[in-house]
Amino acid sequence: MNWANESSPKEFILLGFSDRPWLQMPLLVVLLISYTFTIFGNVSIMTVCILDPKLQTPMYFFLTNLSVLDLCYTTSTVPHMLASICHNKKTISYGGCVAQLIIFLALGATECLLLTVMSFDRFVAICRPLHYVVIMNPGFCRKMAAFSWLTGVSNSVLQSSLTLNMPRCGHREVDHFFCEVPALLKLSCADTKPIEAELFFFSVLILLIPVTLILISYGFIAQAVLRIRSAEGRRKAFGTCGSHMVVVSLFFGTAIYIYLQPPSSTSKDWGKMVSLFYGIITPMLNPLIYSLRNKDMKQSCKRMVSRIIFCKK
């Protein structure tokens, strides 16, 4: 049999909630609301961080990167999902599916590394405050950000090639809303255990090692904060880290659930819901978490709004 021809259909069928048509309209509403908030929230954070001189610090440089990433992350899947629901068209071209898979994996891995870099920034700020300016200099920050993006892209190319090279014997019904590794592996008509083992190895590198480093960083941070005598100082220190920890918990918790267990053991509907959460809901929540829990961000937003109103007058 010619596996190359069988493995590369012209298009895939994304089943989504086809077996539950009554969920289509609620899903459409959720997608529209979340995508609107994601665009508005992340663009606002990017604008404020770039334009406000008081936010020209490593912390907000990485936050700008995270906002760009979240904006692209949701854009890689949500517009197609919205079009599919509105036009009742469940297909996606093979090229579109490949692009979606590569972009989604690249941005997901980059976010894992970027969140790790942000935890290191908080560690240096609280545990090595006198050396912060020297360690977190602009050149080092740019290198760390570039490393996160390049590693994310490299991981995506490897995982995507492994996934897409599996023989599918003409199977093209993807039981998901978008092209994701676990859903595509279920199309294979060959033994997927060797590939799953390789993908698990990459997932450990991208998920477990970063989350371990983040936990170690916050262990040192907690020790340093507890040594601060003033309650105000402790509250301020925990406040700068609280937003980041919430984002880490939301993103890593759901991603680990999907990628660190065999696709066959994942509940079909529950896997879809978890993927929607870390792929769509979390990027929407990130701007809210960082802006509502961040005093500097709130003050900067107020200054920008005041300038806009003043200019209009």
| Residue 235 φ/ψ region, left for φ over 0, alpha for ψ in the -120 to 50 degree band, beta for the rest | alpha
- The model's pLDDT over 229-260, given as tens digits with 9 standing for 90+, comes to 777 666 766 666 777 788 888 888 878 877 77
Cα(145)–Cα(140) distance, integer angstroms:
9
pLDDT at 216: 92
* Closest among 126, 89, 67, 121 to 15, alpha carbons compared: 89
Those residues with Cβ within 8 angstroms of residue 153's Cβ, 6 or more apart along the chain or in another chain:
106, 110
Backbone φ, ψ for residue 25 (5° rounding): -65, -45
Q: What percent of the chain has pLDDT over 70?
A: 86
* Closest among 293, 254, 297 to 277, alpha carbons compared: 254
Q: For residue 48, what pLDDT band results from cuts at 50, 70 and 90?
A: confident
Cα(18)–Cα(130) distance, integer angstroms:
58
Range name among 153-167, 187-201, 267-281 with the lowest pLDDT average: 267-281
SS (H, E, C) the chain: CCHHHHHCCCEEEECCCCCCHHHHHHHHHHHHHHHHHHHHHHHHHHHHHHHCHHHCCHHHHHHHHHHHHHHHHHHCCHHHHHHHHHHCCCEEEHHHHHHHHHHHHHHHHHHHHHHHHHHHHHHHHHHCHHHHHHHCCHHHHHHHHHHHHHHHHHHHHHHHHHHHCCCCCCCCEECCCCCCHHHHHCCCCCCCHHHHHHHHHHHHHHHHHHHHHHHHHHHHHHHHHHCCCCHHHHHHHHHHHHHHHHHHHHHHHHHHHHHCCCHHHCCHHHHHHHHHHHHHHHHHHHHHHHHHCCHHHHHHHHHHHHHHHHHHC
Is the pLDDT confidence value at 165 over 90?
A: no
Backbone φ, ψ for residue 93 (5° rounding): -65, 160
Range name among 180-189, 210-219, 253-262 with the lowest pLDDT average: 253-262
Is the pLDDT confidence value at 9 over 90?
A: no
Q: For residue 116, what pLDDT band results from cuts at 50, 70 and 90?
A: very high
Q: For residue 141, what pLDDT band results from cuts at 50, 70 and 90?
A: very high
Give the mean model confidence (pLDDT) for residues 74-103. Answer: 86
* Closest among 307, 273, 251, 297 to 44, alpha carbons compared: 297
Tokens at residue 298, please? Answer: 């709130």
145 or 201, which is more confident: 145
308 or 160, which is more confident: 160
Scanning the structure block, which residue is given the tokens 């979240």? 70
Give the mean model confidence (pLDDT) for residues 47-61. Answer: 86
3-312: what fold? Rhopdopsin 7-helix transmembrane proteins (1.20.1070)
Cα(53)–Cα(41) distance, integer angstroms:
20
Q: For residue 285, what pLDDT band results from cuts at 50, 70 and 90?
A: confident
Q: For residue 264, what pLDDT band results from cuts at 50, 70 and 90?
A: low
This prediction has a pTM of 0.85
Is the pLDDT confidence value at 26 over 70?
A: yes
Give the mean model confidence (pLDDT) for residues 275-298. Answer: 76
Give the residue extent of every domain in the chain: 3-312
